[in-house]
């Protein structure tokens, strides 16, 4: 069992499968928000659905769309379960809080290297830990 510590965290304890991205992510730049599928040509997760997944993302991209987008995805039934960022911007936190979606920032080990899409992890914001 591996435990990775995070710098900041918000939300409830959750567990689930991860979708690992190798570059930055923005709901506006990279996601078809009608289908919930990554649509940016050449994105490392192109063609993957975010629905019900814990997204592991090294950096947040610019853009304010995330402030509403996660809430909208929730209403459409295609929201991710949680967001695990290496680095984020406030947009992602504002969007996650509005959608009541667990979110973390900063990791003690490189999760992009340690995890692969489909792996199962548990996020514990109170303990600032990710376990898998």
* Per CB under 8 A, 44 contacts another protein: no
* Per CB under 8 A, 87 contacts another protein: yes
The residue (of 17 and 100) whose beta carbon lies closer to another protein is 100
CA distances to 49, 56, 84, 90, 126 from 12, in Å: 22, 17, 13, 19, 8
* Per CB under 8 A, 88 contacts another protein: yes
Count other Cβ atoms within 10 Å, centred on residue 109.
12
Report in angstroms how near the CB of residue 17 gets to another protein at its nearest. Answer: 23
Shortest CA distance to 4 belongs to which of 86, 90, 118? 86
- Dihedral pair phi/psi, residue 27, rounded to 5°: -60, -25
The residue (of 14 and 119) whose beta carbon lies closer to another protein is 14
> What are the residues binding another protein (CB under 8 A)?
8-10, 24, 28-34, 39-41, 59-69, 71-72, 74-76, 87-91, 93-95, 97-98, 103
């Amino acid at each position: 069992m591996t435990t990775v510590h995070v710098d900041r965290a918000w939300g409830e304890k959750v567990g689930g499968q991860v979708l690992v991205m190798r570059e930055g992510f923005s709901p506006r730049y990279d996601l078809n928000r009608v289908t919930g599928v990554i649509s940016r040509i050449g994105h490392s997760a192109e063609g993957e659905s975010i629905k019900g997944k814990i997204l592991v993302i090294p950096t947040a991209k610019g853009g304010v769309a995330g402030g509403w987008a996660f809430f909208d995805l929730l209403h459409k039934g295609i929201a991710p379960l949680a967001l695990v960022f290496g680095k984020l911007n406030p947009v992602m936190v504002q969007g996650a809080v509005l959608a009541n979606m667990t979110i973390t920032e900063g990791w003690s080990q490189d999760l992009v290297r340690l995890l692969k899409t489909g792996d199962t992890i548990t996020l514990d914001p109170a303990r600032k830990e990710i376990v898998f």
